[in-house]
Structure 1
Amino acid sequence: MRQLDGQDRLCGAEINSITNLVQRGYFDSNNARIVFCHSMTEDGRNVALILMEYFSLSGYETESYEIQDLHDADPGLFRTRGLRNLAKTISRVILERGTDYCAINATGGYKAQIAIAVLLGQALGVPVFYKHEKFNEIIAFPPMPVALDLSLWMRNSGLFFLLDRETVCEKDVAEHWDERLEALVERVEIDGSNYLELSPIGQIFHETFRGRYWSDRDRVLPPPALEKRKPHLGDHDWGNAREPILAFMNAVNKIPYVRHCRTHYWNPDLPSPNIFRLKGEEIEGVFSNGTWTVKIKVETTAVTPGQREACVADLNNWLTTGK
């Protein structure tokens, strides 16, 4: 294949498109790394190996990622998990390397991937290219005025972090459900109960704002607390839960903008998802070991709605990542 012109159709759409990108000067071929995302199929693995070898011999650094559940054996799994995992992988690659240094080539693979790539590019501000087999040259999708709501993500960040890890029983989040989330989730029935999981669009929404928030967190968070009070446990018979609850509250209290936290609800027989959320103008944390649940009020230095939303997003990020 390397004896052919890279634009020869016998080389295939992937090689044709990358060769065209180089020839048109869209990126510096001397310093470029090419990352291939391939399906969870034998054909996908084989094609990725061929492409990596082809471009490695041309002097490029190459790597590949197999996208879990991205295959045509189960259309339902492809639509939900497969496309979600594709969005997660592309987002991670781009955010690790920086949006100013990346572009997406949406040529090759399943047609549904093009839609995911275009939406990701619009959300992350990354150029997206595509070459149809009948096109003489590769084209760039033009930027479109797509606006995503950061405030919606921050207010519901706990749910997004939960759904990024697992399915969530619908009744567990019904009390604080926001109808604007409908397009970002899908419902599945498990053992007679309705569960929520992120849709592919929801995954893009979450990945976009998680990366954007982390870049801007120092700018949007309120100032550190000058004085702190010790966490307060209410008058309950906490039993064996006392130590883990107090340890959790002490950890929350060490976060710079937190002034104080106190318990306001206790149920020894109720499991719940761990989450931080807004209740009116107050921040509430829900902490559970899977058998009992405690709810705590978190007092911060936030004075505006935007700062409170930023605190909720930061607390949920801390709950998930520990930082």
Structure 2
Amino acid sequence: MRHTLICTVGTSLFNPNLRTLPAPDHYDEWLQKQPVPDRAHLTTDTVATLKTTFEHTDWVTLALHLSQLPPTLRLCGAEINSIGDLLQRGYVTPTATLLFCHSDTDEGTAIATLLVHYYQALGHTATPYRVEGLQDNHPKTFRTDGLRNLVKQMSCGLRLRGAEYCAINATGGYKAQIAIAVLLGQALKVPVYYKHERFSEIIAFPPMPVSLDFDLWIQHNGWLTALGRNSHDQTPWETVQDDWSEALEPLVERVEIDGQVYITLSPTGQVFYEAFRERQLPQMALHLPSPVPPQQKRKPQMSNHNWGNARDPIIRYLQRITDVCPYVTGCRTFYWNPALSSLNSFRLQGDALEGTLSNGTWIVRFEIETSSQTLGERQACLLDLNQRIGKDFG
């Protein structure tokens, strides 16, 4: 059974629910607008206590008061309603761990804090996660950073807890946020649940075999991995346009900076990255070629260029690749440009494995010789090398 529930968080608990609690002279009018089954629980004293505690922003005490009410009350908001339904139906374990991914706003933080205290009072382990850029004041930031960071945050939770033991509750939050959570769950074969306020019960989006093009991933693995690793990274359009495919369009967004066009991953592209990272990398690691004996490894070979101050860092980088990758025999440079920038990455060019190193002002390209004998082994080397950037070498 699923023992961890990753939840998107919205604002319905605060607005309109708690923020519109009535003063005593408007209580009767307000009560008539509540669902009939809820009214018996919403006494004048209960409502007055909730209203006062909310206005004092005492989230710990407010959580305790709410925890005394049935989780089915509409007043409790989308998150509590849906989680209560999931627990009641046994879709997750009774003491499931709850991870709340909330917006990059003060209100989002406050709601997540309240939810954490609420579920801790009920015996759950609960943790809030603020998703950088997930706010509606700057739509561009929301699209380019917020939704991608949501994918990364949820994917991290799935990796740490084990996707096979997790479920996603995509009830709360922005509509785009819900859509991305559903797409991620389906791509990673994790069940996703959703409850609309008019639904009598929660519904499931069962894990589906989302079609992901492995050949496309391999062909463009270098820059896809580089951009997926860091949501702030981007690469000039001119560095990828020669090998461009229309199939890549849903995975990227274009931004213009100082008259130059750059590409970055779209939220869908981030899902694409996370899905292959989870589903393909473990399998590909099994196909890495045999290690090269130490005595057969060679020092980096540098072509005849005026390298200037770049020579030493390039040699160190190539030597590091040779040293830390068991399957690498050696590296040799074949291209140098002292006035070009690019992402550090690796790619397959025909039967050759090529690497790119740039410090932002110059770029060098080099070939990596390995012990691989088959295309499958070369593909495994490619994925392994791109995953090592930032870990084993810069």
- Do Structure 1 and Structure 2 share a fold, with TM-score over 0.5? yes
Matching residue of 1:280: 350
Q: Is the 8 A contact 1:155 1:313 kept in 2?
A: no
Alpha-carbon offset, residue 21 of structure 1:
0.9
Aligned to 1:261: 331
Aligned to 2:275: 208
Query: Is residue 2:88 matched to residue 1:28?
Result: no
The question of whether the paired residues in 2 share the 8 Å contact of 1:154 and 1:310 is answered with: no
1:298 equivalenced with 2:365 (yes/no): no
CA deviation map 1:16-41 (0-9, x unaligned):
111111111112123x2100011112
Q: Is the 8 A contact 1:155 1:309 kept in 2?
A: no
Shift of 1:279: 1.4
1:215 shift after superposition: 2.6
Note the alpha carbon deviations across 1:144-191, whole angstroms, 9 max, x for none: 332212332233221113323212110122233333211100111111
Cα distance between partner residues in 1 of 2:341 and 2:144: 27
Q: Is the 8 A contact 1:161 1:320 kept in 2?
A: no
- Cα separation, 2, equivalents of 1:230 and 1:264: 15
Match of 2:197 in 1: 133
Quote the residue 1:148 is aligned against.
212
DSSP 3-state at the match of 1:201:
helix
Amino acid of the residue matched to residue 279 of structure 1?
A: Q
Residues of 2 paired with 1:74 and 1:22: CA distance?
36
Gaps of 5+ in 1: none
Partner of 2:302: 233
SS at match of 1:321: coil
Of 45, 48, 70 in structure 2, the residue corresponding to residue 5 of structure 1 is: 70
Q: Quick check: 1:86 aligned with 2:153?
A: no
Structure 1 residue 55 displacement after superposition:
0.4
Cα pair 1:155 1:312 within 8 Å, conserved:
no
State the AA in 1 paired with 2:339.
D
Q: Which amino acid aligns with 2:129?
A: Y
SS of the residue corresponding to residue 230 of structure 1 reads coil
How far apart are the structure 2 equivalents of 1:237 and 1:193? 28
SS in structure 1 at match of 2:79: helix
Q: In the TM superposition, what whole-angstrom CA distance separates every residue of 1:190-243 from its partner, at most 9, and x where no partner exists?
A: 111111011100011111212334433431322222432332222333332222
State which of 5, 9, 14 in structure 1 corresponds to 2:79. 14
> What is the CA-CA distance between 1:273 and the residue it aligns to?
2.5
Match of 1:250 in 2: 319
Please list every run of 5 or more consecutive structure 2 residues that lacks an aligned counterpart in the other structure: 1-65
**Helix, strand or coil: the match of 1:44?**
helix
Match of 2:290 in 1: 223
State the TM-score, normalizing by the size of structure 1: 0.94
Query: What CA distance in whole angstroms lies between the structure 2 residues aligned with 1:25 and 1:270?
Result: 57
Structure 1 position 260, deviation (Å):
2.1
Counterparts in 2 of 1:271 and 1:194: CA distance versus 1, 3 Å: closer
Instruction: With the length of structure 2 as denominator, give the TM-score of the two structures.
Output: 0.78
Amino acid at match of 2:388: W
Q: 1:68 aligns with which of 132, 135, 142?
A: 132
Q: Compare 17-26 and 170-179 and name the one that shifted more.
A: 170-179
Name 2:188's counterpart in structure 1: 124
Q: Give a deviation string over 1:230-281, Cα, whole Å, max 9, x none.
A: 3222233333222211111111112111122111122333333222112121
Matching residue within 221, 242, 254 for 1:175:
242
Larger mean Cα displacement after TM superposition, 230-239 or 61-70:
230-239
Per the TM alignment, residue 107 of structure 1 is displaced from its structure 2 partner at its CA by 0.8
Rounded to whole Å, the distance in 2 between the matches of 1:101 and 1:307 is 31
Amino acid at match of 2:150: L
Q: CA RMSD in A?
A: 1.7
**C-alpha deviations, 1:30-83, integer Å up to 9, x for none?**
3x2100011112221121111111100000001011111111112222222111
Q: Which moved more, 1:154-163 or 1:210-219?
A: 210-219
Where 1:187 maps in the other structure, the secondary structure is strand
> How many angstroms apart in 2 are the aligned matches of 1:306 and 1:318?
19
Query: For 1:36-47, what aligned pairs fall within 5 Å after superposition?
Result: 36-47=100-111
Structure 2 CA distance for aligned equivalents of residues 152 and 260 of structure 1: 27
Report if the CA contact (8 A) 1:162-1:168 is conserved: no
Check the 8 A contact 1:151/1:309 in 2, yes or no: no
Deviates more, 1:56-65 or 1:233-242: 233-242
2:392 aligned residue:
322
